[in-house]
Chain A
Amino acid sequence: MTENGTEDTDADPTEVEYRVTAEGVEKAFGDNKVLKGVSFTVEQGTATAIIGPSGSGKTTLLRALNALDRPDAGVIRVDDVELDFSKPVPKPEVREFQSRSGFVFQSHNLFPHKTVLQNITEGPVIVQKRPKDEVHAEALELLDQVGLVEKKDQYPYQLSGGQQQRVGIARALALKPKLVLFDEPTSALDPELVGEVLSVIKDLAVEGWTLVIVTHEIQFAKQVSNQVLFTDQGIILEQGTPDEVIGDPKEERTRQFLNRILNPL
């Protein structure tokens, strides 16, 4: 736990040890240009919400931050690892880059053949080759944090959707990433299960984790994030604090989008 809340980290730049920067990120799937040169910065210990209409490129942008989808061009830096995607990048460098961030999927993607605890310890023990006992203890702490210690020996199919997603979050955190990425973490959940997942993410923001969250939960984005990016047609159309982008949008497209989401009828 960091002792400062997210607000303080912004206020005191000397505390910032690292940041995440993206510059001119481009990505096309076939003829479809999904990202057309996207740039932004995420400061350590802040939460950034990416909102925007479907097909605007927000998920692709998030996946680019973890190189799950390799951009065609652009430079992304997470902590001390910088990749220039306009050149071919060797696999070990990609893996080093990926090790700086954790990823939470829309559909959790837990490993069904492993218990809750094994899902969390798999990365630290097998990939990072850290001592089992130590990882085990940390994993239990993480499970405690997401409120699922008693489920540690269950298999994913025995959990509800919200519980599965919380285990997915614990799995991502177990690798001690510098950056945690969330891809619409509540979109696949029943409405009554959304709250438990959002409150876990909110706690992470308060604790000082660096978060980037693709979400349709506008109220949640407003409450939790320090920065909001509104993507539209492959570019970041508008960015700023939640009060600026959500509270007082400058762009017509942003207004239309927020209006549709907040007043669906």
Chain B
Amino acid sequence: MLITRKVEFSAAHVCRNPQLDDEQNRALYGPASNPHGHGHNYVVEVTLRGDPDPVTGMVLDLKDLKAILNREIVEPYDHRFLNYEAPPFDRIPPTTENIAREIWRRIEPQLRMPRSRLDSVRVYETHDLYVDYFGEDGPK
């Protein structure tokens, strides 16, 4: 069984690889490389796979999941400029793919529950563009 919890955060970012110069970044990312940054209302869907506990009927307590997502996603990212305030995005570009992987890295160890584990992280940058990440060992 899959269960999904959604959280949202609003943040600024600039798509910029610090290993490239200004001109290379402009060529690669276009308007998204504007050094002053721009922003999105990100929507994150965290999906767990597991079986309901026969006594409680729950895969896990959603209050616990909500607390983890607030601590690991909303608090560090909401109303922040990701490149300046949320490592590792000072070193790697905060593309939707890299944000999905970083969220996975932050929450996955805390979601190894007796009856469930993290299945995927979906990050919407806009309503018409999103990325699903399945972990390093996810289905090829």
Question: A and B: partners?
Answer: no
* B residues lining the A interface (CB < 8 Å): none
* A residues lining the B interface (CB < 8 Å): none
